[in-house]
Amino acid sequence: MDVSSATALAHPNIALIKYWGNSDDEWTIPANGSISLTLGGLFTRVQVTVDKALIQDQLFLEGEVASEAAQVRVRQFMDHVRRFSGKQMFCRIESTSNFPRGSGIASSAAAFAAMALAAAKVYGLPTDPCELSRLARLGSGSACRSIYGGFVEWIAGIDHQSSYAIPLAPKDYWDLVDCVAVVSTEHKAVSSREGHRLAKTSPLQPCRVQTASQRIERCRRAILERDFGQLAQVVELDSNLMHSVMMTSQPPLFYWRGETLIIMEEVRRWRNQGQPVCYTVDAGPNVHVLTLAAHAEWVREKLSQIAGVKGVIVAAPGEGAVLV
């Protein structure tokens, strides 16, 4: 039986091995596989409600009518839901988050993971995680990883059927913590979506993609063996590789700022002094500093003291998407 409304909650994730560029932009089939950690404490809640009076979907963000660009993106996602379910109804979609936009934490992953689950429930689509992961991917690539909690791998695949995330280890497997040093809350000038399309204009993207499976393998082993030293090496390398592709695409995308470089240098210095820390940077200037739970307070304190750091958000591993 179909329901007329469902609400789901999902967490953002931080990629340890990065997704950047698609082999198929239309179906969001990534150029390479990726690995992420789902972040607890931070969440997006999405309510999907059928409204027979509507002739198109209506998106509300934090209680306000969303921008036209956001509406279009959500309607395209819901078109997939309608096609898969064979049901032509439109919905009111309400999304709220407990973390600020521009906090350096991608909100689209949590939003589309929650939306996929709530919409699947409302439209009577299968709600097993593998199906949900494929569906969420159509909204935002990295959303396919937020279906699962803990440590997650996205199998690149070659088409819609073969491209989805799988769980690598549950959230309690390893007490990693992500300390996000926020240096800017400005909204980024180039969206990740547009950035993914530019990846293929970098002369370096083929080399990054061709060597990604080795890094996936190293990262997976580091997680399963809880080997922070190995994790640090491959996570920083992979982040630097993605930014290399960004900065050499045409036009170039520079997400790093002066403070970003300074924090990255500090993190390497702390690690040389014996601290279990490493950095990873997404499509923005803020720096995600990974450490072990016992060291999180020290890292938070040290990051706060760096000039230009406006705040530090601390997140431990979180659960997968759930209905509420």
Binding site for a second copy (CB under 8 A): 203-208, 210-211, 233, 236-237, 240-241, 243-245, 247-248, 250, 252, 254, 256-259, 261-262, 264-265
Q: What is the DSSP string of 82-138?
A: HHHHT----EEEEEEESS-TTSSS-HHHHHHHHHHHHHHHHHT---SHHHHHHHHHH
Q: How far is the CB of 185 from a second copy (least distance, A)?
A: 18
Q: How far is the CB of 116 from a second copy (least distance, A)?
A: 33
Nearer to a second copy, 101 or 310 (CB): 310
Q: How far is the CB of 199 from a second copy (least distance, A)?
A: 13
Nearer to a second copy, 2 or 254 (CB): 254
Nearer to a second copy, 229 or 258 (CB): 258
Angle at 172 between CA 95 and CA 17, to 5 degrees: 70
Q: How far is the CB of 311 from a second copy (least distance, A)?
A: 19
Beta bridge partners of 278: 290
Are 319 and 11 in contact by the 8 Å Cβ rule? The answer is: yes
Could you tell me which of 242, 132, 127 has the C-alpha nearest to residue 195? 242
Nearer to a second copy, 11 or 271 (CB): 271
Nearer to a second copy, 215 or 300 (CB): 215
Cβ count within 10 A of residue 319: 16
Q: For residue 309, give the amino acid letter.
A: V
Going 131 to 132 to 133 to 135, the CA torsion angle's sign is positive
Q: How far is the CB of 243 from a second copy (least distance, A)?
A: 8
